[in-house]
Amino acid sequence: AFLPIFLASRGHSELISHALLALNLGQLPASLLLLVVAGRLERRAWPYIASGAVSLACIAGIVFMPGPATIAWAALLGFSIAAGLILAPTLPPLLCRAEDVARTSAGTFTLSYGGAVVMALASGAAWDLTGMPALAFVPLAIGAMALAIVAATMLRIGELR
């Protein structure tokens, strides 16, 4: 949501449509790849850690390297976010008792979509309060770090491998 306005604020309005296209098209290879390898990634921590780390690197690339490289960063960000998003709903059935799957899945979806709304509000507030467009990406970076940290914690306590 903040990519077009951010690029315009940096004088790169000509890249908006290309960056948005790259962000969306980047999701397709992740989806296709996961069709083939999803079974091998079940209960693994590294895909979530990698998704968080790559997303963080892409956000930094978008913020600190605005220009033609933004298109590549956006495509990689789309890939990374899609991979994490596709794998996340598989965890409740894998980690919970059968009778807990429905409520855990509902809680997972509530937190993830609710978190997206809160992040969008926090990003807009960070930009509005400071007048610095790059700060809109800080909540997104925090979310990417949180994904990696939670996955690493789940690995440490044995819930993921």
Pick out the chain residues at pLDDT < 70.
none
Q: What is the pTM of this model?
A: 0.91
Report residue 16 as tokens: 């908006």
pLDDT at 111: 87
pLDDT at 99: 95
Backbone angles phi, psi at 52, to 5 degrees: -65, -45
Tokens 């400071």 belong to residue: 130
Q: Which DSSP string do the residues of 16-37 spell out, in sequence order?
A: HHHHHHHHHHTHHHHHHHHHHH
Tokens 């926090």 belong to residue: 122
pLDDT at 100: 94
Handedness of CA 20, 26, 32, 36 (dihedral sign): negative
Q: Distance from first CA to last CA of the chain, Å, rounded?
A: 34
Amino acid of residue 135: L
pLDDT at 1: 79
pLDDT at 135: 94
DSSP state, 136?
A: G
Instruction: Please name the helix (run of DSSP H) or strand (run of DSSP E) that holds residue 119, with its range, or none.
Output: helix 101-130
